[in-house]
Amino acid sequence: MKRNILLFTCFYLFSVSYAAEYIPITTNNTCLLLKVNDKKRLEQSYFGEKIRNIPETESVDLETFSAYSTFGTNHVFEAALRAVQSDGNTSTELSYVSHTSEKKGDDVFHTVISLKDDYYDLFVDIHYNAYQQDDILEQWVEIRNGQKKTVRLTGYASSDLSFNARQYYVSHFHGDWANEMHISEQQLTEGIKVIDSKLGVRAHQFTHPCFILSLNRPAQENDGTVVGATLAWPGSFRFNFEVNNSNHLRILSGANPYASEYMLETGKVLKTPELLFTYSNKGTGKMTRNFHRWARKYGIKNGNKERSILLNNWEATYFDFDETKLTRIIDDAAKMGFELFLLDDGWFGNKYPRNNDDAGLGDWQTNKSKLPNGIPYLINECKKRNIKFGIWVEPEMVNPKSELYEQHPDWVIAQPHRERTEQRNQLILDLSNPAVQEFVYNTVDQILSSNPGIEYVKWDCNRYVFNSGSSSLSADKQSHLFFDYSKNLLEIMNRVSKKYPHTTFMACSGGGGRIDYGSMKHFDEYWISDNNDPLYRIYTQWGAQYFFPTIGLASHVSVSPNHITRRSFSLKTRFDVAMAAKLGMDLQPAQMSPKEYEFSKNAIQTYKEIRKTILLGDLYRILSPYNSNRTVYMYVNEEQSEAVVFNFLIRKEIYPAPPNFVLQGIDPLKKYKLTEINKDPDNWSRFNKYEGKIFSGDYLMKVGLNFAMYDEYESLVFKLTEVK
């Protein structure tokens, strides 16, 4: 569509004459307003709550910023695009050429703005998807080389957003293995703050590709202006926050160009990862609900499909199991009410059996010593008991002690003439190599096709890149490795998910090392941490849920003392924390006392009754674990007929002053009955004064509730049921 044609996204807000200058990217409640100035440069003139009358912006000159900055003749700050032209010129000057807009489905408008360098045949298309109902914007860039020789890209951001406010605060998410997704907020001052990952693979181990920007004051849950953004990319990423001399903020987001210069050959296109972002003038709560609602429709595989409650053998057996032991676990799982059994690591390898993590990885044949009747035997045992069967894979990795490595030592990521550095006794297969790409795809494909009846796959990835070299790439393209690995990995995931649309896939990467919307569109669930310690899980799940939906958040009941922290928790607390997400269990029924067994069986049945509200409901955070000794949050179903409220005391109080907290998200005109769940029948409950009583939504959201919790790591969960 040419400039003189009305954009569909304008919703008839302005006449044809204005379309020559303005390009609005709008949702139901948000507007990103772009403008082509008199020098044909593309500028950002507004981003915020939706403007109802675009022509009014003509009456005054709005402050504008470059919509996609380049390193050029007069740019002194960080640029979104840095390119070395085929003749060595290090500058780029992009001018507007045209734009098009089309409706994709009932809810999405896709806009493409085409730019071209003033002199060179270097073309940049900026793409936007505007998701109307959920107020999510998605942006990426496609860079095409039309020159006769190679162009070298040294920076290629997906997004360039600018802001003008008195103060800026950014929250980001950090941690390490078993300690993921902690929140840190800082005020931005003059200069540059960089949040990035250089890990290449398992890139989210230390920090996650998402941030919250709060304007003028620190982020609040229910009010204030915030922008939330996350990059749909499983590889190295970078967010660059630069406050300039005029106190303007520019945020560059995209794949990390560190050690990743890209040689763009003639006629080739580099597509950058998608940045997903949303604007909220009602704090981080609305931001979260925007992302969750969008994710269930577009961001996660089978986003509205019911999830199965699984029992995993890992913490019960680790690598030490056989058919007899697994059959007993399957039988126990079915009797307790589980819906799926997951066989974890250790089922493969014959010449180098997978009896520990030092051998067998890459040799994906069933271990005949442990499983003489193969995987089909276990699938059949599950079918006999009317539960599903799942399996663990780590197809991108290889142990040096394996047949695969003996046959293809050149298939791993490694620098020549340097020591090959292992993590977890393994090396990474080089996905820039087409033969390796086929091997990884065929690994998953053959496991599933040769064992019909596998209904769940846990896809793991347990290390990141050292010695980043490829025997497949030429000397001048070694810096392509990080980008190409992630791009090719997503293509493999796409092939697998298309061929097996009804198989449930969990994204696991030693915990939360690969939780992003680039991967998640091919996965039904995500494993945010290997640490099932409930206290750690409260913080980890709290952080993850700012951007990622509960329906994919797998959380398991584990043993006590916990295998990682050695800390002890009651079975009730372990269940309550896991039931606040997608319930699973590593604790084995055979390890339980009769009382624990009965409690667990009842809790699983209760979860089946409320999981739709938890997994598909709106999340409301009430008390944060970061600024209170108690944390409280709740889920409300779409009809506002049911809600489930979780309370956890994370620090013991000798003389507590019980907080009065009000509920959120329910209907003020409806009546609700309050009922505690997972209640210990042998003990008096602190919730007794509310048990079974009926209150209006108006009362619960204004007067609220007040009850004490004394014991460290104490938990209390109750539900609201509409009374008609």
- Residues forming beta bridges with residue 211, ordered by sequence position: 172, 229
- Catalytic annotation on 223? no
Percentage of residues of the chain with pLDDT beyond 70: 97
Across the range 447-473, mean pLDDT stands at 97
Contacts of 570 (CB under 8 A, 6+ apart): 560, 713, 715
Q: What is the CATH number of domain 620-723?
A: 2.60.40.1180
586-603 pLDDT, tens digit each? 999 999 999 999 999 999
267-292 pLDDT, tens digit each? 999 999 999 999 999 999 999 999 99
pLDDT confidence band for 14 (50 / 70 / 90): very low
How many residues comprise the chain? 724
Q: What is the CATH number of domain 68-87+110-297?
A: 2.70.98.60
The whole-number pLDDT of residue 607 equals 98
Distance CA 172, CA 68 (A): 24
Contacts of 660 (CB under 8 A, 6+ apart): 704, 705, 706
**DSSP designation for 411:** G
Percentage of residues of the chain with pLDDT beyond 90: 91
Task: Flag whether pLDDT at 4 surpasses 50.
Answer: no
475-517 pLDDT, tens digit each? 999 999 999 999 999 999 999 999 999 999 999 998 889 999 9
| Pairing mode, strands 81-84 and 65-66 | unpaired
Residue 486's H or E segment, with its range, is helix 481-499
Contact in structure between 613 and 170 (CB atoms under 8 Å): no
The whole-number pLDDT of residue 613 equals 98
Q: What is the CATH number of domain 310-530?
A: 3.20.20.70
**DSSP designation for 296:** I
Task: Flag whether pLDDT at 17 surpasses 50.
Answer: no
The whole-number pLDDT of residue 430 equals 98
Across the range 518-525, mean pLDDT stands at 98
- Taking the alpha carbons at both ends of the chain, their separation in whole angstroms is 53
Helices (H), 28-173: none
Task: Flag whether pLDDT at 44 surpasses 60.
Answer: yes
At which residue do the structure tokens 């071209």 appear?
116
Helices (H), 318-468: 323-336, 374-384, 403-407, 434-450
Across the range 363-371, mean pLDDT stands at 98
The whole-number pLDDT of residue 18 equals 37
- Residues forming beta bridges with residue 207, ordered by sequence position: 174
The whole-number pLDDT of residue 73 equals 75
**DSSP designation for 70:** B
Task: Flag whether pLDDT at 9 surpasses 60.
Answer: no
Query: How many CA atoms lie within 13 Å of 277's alpha carbon, on the beta-carbon side?
Result: 32
pTM exceeds 0.75 = yes
Instruction: Give the start-to-end residue ranges of the domains of the chain.
Output: 1-20+29-67, 68-87+110-297, 310-530, 620-723
pLDDT confidence band for 702 (50 / 70 / 90): very high
599-643 pLDDT, tens digit each? 999 999 999 999 999 999 999 999 999 999 999 999 999 999 999
**DSSP designation for 607:** H
Alpha carbon 723 to its chain centroid, in Å, reads 37
Task: Flag whether pLDDT at 19 surpasses 90.
Answer: no
Cis? peptide before 561, omega within 30° of 0 = yes
The whole-number pLDDT of residue 684 equals 85
Active-site residue, from 460, 484, 516, 586: 460
Active-site residue, from 363, 430, 530, 586: 530
| DSSP-based three-state secondary structure for 487 | helix
Contact in structure between 550 and 577 (CB atoms under 8 Å): no
- Catalytic annotation on 530? yes
Q: Which two tokens stand for residue 551?
A: 């329906």
Task: Flag whether pLDDT at 16 surpasses 80.
Answer: no
Could you check whether 68-87+110-297 and 310-530 share the same CATH topology?
A: no
Contact in structure between 242 and 170 (CB atoms under 8 Å): no
C-alpha Rg value of the chain to the nearest Å:
27
The whole-number pLDDT of residue 506 equals 98
